[in-house]
């Protein structure tokens, strides 16, 4: 005999709302008047073997954040990743959803040190609110994250565990816009071990040779973007130009030792609330240029 367990959660992206623990087996939304629900996720388990318990195990979602969990917020998101710890979002499929294209991601983990407890965090785009979504994970002998009682991903957890098996989670997001990122992190409860993963359901990218420009949407007004460059020569000075219509702004961005840079771009055009922008970058061996919409023109859900 097998039991099936379904855990439902709401993921919040741009113009989203934060998490709050709801009824047994579910997470519910805490409505905010200033934001609208714009992305969702289903976390479903496959059948769990009854051999782990005399009855079908009753797995509840972990609390949204334990009291002893070190807060992870926008101010320290992305900083101090642990060497060797790896978190990756794997796209598993796309389909038409209620609010545009629904995309399913699975999470893969490796390289986490033993002796700590870990939580899965999300950061919603736009207002950058963060929340611990699932918790109670341990690192097994190979550094993969598992629930207590699991020696390998896929093993049944301890009967009655409040830990939801990470390998069974299917994260479904929809209602996304061009350039809008999906951000997750695995963080130890003491805050000393961190790993981050980002995906772009609908990337805005341009490439020339080995150099790439990626446009990342940053605010709910569709007027603030971060242009991320990669593939440039280590530590070279990259010449840039950003234009909104006839307004051209030249600049220079120093590339990092890994050939990357990030440039903030704000659409501030007097008398205009929508349009098309272009960002170009010239390095020693490449000259990528990317065009993207801003303001009202960028609000179309994919």
- pLDDT for 277-296, tens place per residue? 999 999 999 999 999 999 99
Give the single-character DSSP code of 175: S
Dihedral pair phi/psi, residue 7, rounded to 5°? -115, 125
Rounded CA-CA distance 187/65 in Å is 11
Coil, strand, or helix at residue 117? Answer: coil
Q: What is the pLDDT of residue 119?
A: 94
Section 252-276 average pLDDT? 91
Rounded mean pLDDT of the chain? Answer: 77
Q: Which residue has the higher pLDDT, 237 or 76?
A: 237
Residue 50's φ and ψ, nearest 5 degrees, are: -70, -10
- Is 52 strand, coil or helix? helix
Nearest C-alpha neighbor of 260 from the set 292, 214, 205, 218? 214
Distance CA 276, CA 94 (A): 28
Residue 36 predicted with pLDDT over 90: no
Query: In the chain, pLDDT over 90 holds for what percent of residues?
Result: 49
pLDDT attached to residue 170 = 85
- Ranges of each domain in the chain: 2-199, 204-298
Q: What dihedral angle (degrees, nearest 10) is formed by the CA atoms of 101, 32, 68, 158?
A: -50
CATH tag, 204-298 = 2.60.40.10
DSSP state of 132: E
259: confidence class by pLDDT, cuts 50, 70, 90:
very high
Distance between CA atoms of residues 173 and 182, nearest Å: 9
pLDDT of residue 17 exceeding 60, the answer is no
- Let me know: does 24 contact 10? Beta carbons within 8 Å: no
Q: CA 40, CA 13: separation in Å to the nearest integer?
A: 9
Q: Single out the residue of 199, 87, 75 nearest to residue 128, CA to CA.
A: 75
pLDDT at 185 over 80: yes
Q: What is the mean pLDDT of residues 238-243?
A: 96
Alpha carbon distance 179, 227 (integer Å): 10
More confident position, 54 or 111: 111
Q: In this model, does residue 37 exceed pLDDT 60?
A: no
- 21-35, 86-100, 155-169, 195-209, range with greatest mean pLDDT: 195-209
The dihedrals phi and psi of 168, each to the nearest 5 degrees, come to: -95, -5
Residue 51, phi then psi, degrees to nearest 5: -65, -20
Backbone angles phi and psi of 292, in degrees to 5: -150, 160
- The partner residues of 280 in beta bridges, in order of sequence, read 241, 289
């Amino acid at each position: 005999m097998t039991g099936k367990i379904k855990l439902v959660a709401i993921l919040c992206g741009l113009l989203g709302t934060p998490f709050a623990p709801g009824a047994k087996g579910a997470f519910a939304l805490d409505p905010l008047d200033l934001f609208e629900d714009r992305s969702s996720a289903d976390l479903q388990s496959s059948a769990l073997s009854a051999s782990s318990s005399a009855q079908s195990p009753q797995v509840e979602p972990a609390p949204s954040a334990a009291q002893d969990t070190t807060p992870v917020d926008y101010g320290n998101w992305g900083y101090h990743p642990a060497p060797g710890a790896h978190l990756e979002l794997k796209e598993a499929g796309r389909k038409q959803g209620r609010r545009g294209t629904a995309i399913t991601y699975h999470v893969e983990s490796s390289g986490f040190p033993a002796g700590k407890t870990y939580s899965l965090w999300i950061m919603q785009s736009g207002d950058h609110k963060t929340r611990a979504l699932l918790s109670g994970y341990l690192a097994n002998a190979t550094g993969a994250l598992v629930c207590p009682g699991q020696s390998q991903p896929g093993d049944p957890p301890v009967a009655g565990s409040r830990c939801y098996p990470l390998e069974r989670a299917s994260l479904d997001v929809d209602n996304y816009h061009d350039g809008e990122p999906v951000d997750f992190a695995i963080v130890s409860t003491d805050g000393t071990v961190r790993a981050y993963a980002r995906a772009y359901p609908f990337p805005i990218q341009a490439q020339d040779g080995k150099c790439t420009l990626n446009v990342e949407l940053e605010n709910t007004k569709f007027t603030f973007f971060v242009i991320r460059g990669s593939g440039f020569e280590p530590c070279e000075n990259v010449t840039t130009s950003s234009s909104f219509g006839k307004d051209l702004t030249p600049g220079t961005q120093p590339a990092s030792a890994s050939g990357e840079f990030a440039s903030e771009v704000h659409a501030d055009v007097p008398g205009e609330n929508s349009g098309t922008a272009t960002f170009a970058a010239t390095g020693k061996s490449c000259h990528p240029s990317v065009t993207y919409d801003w303001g009202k023109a960028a609000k179309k859900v994919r």
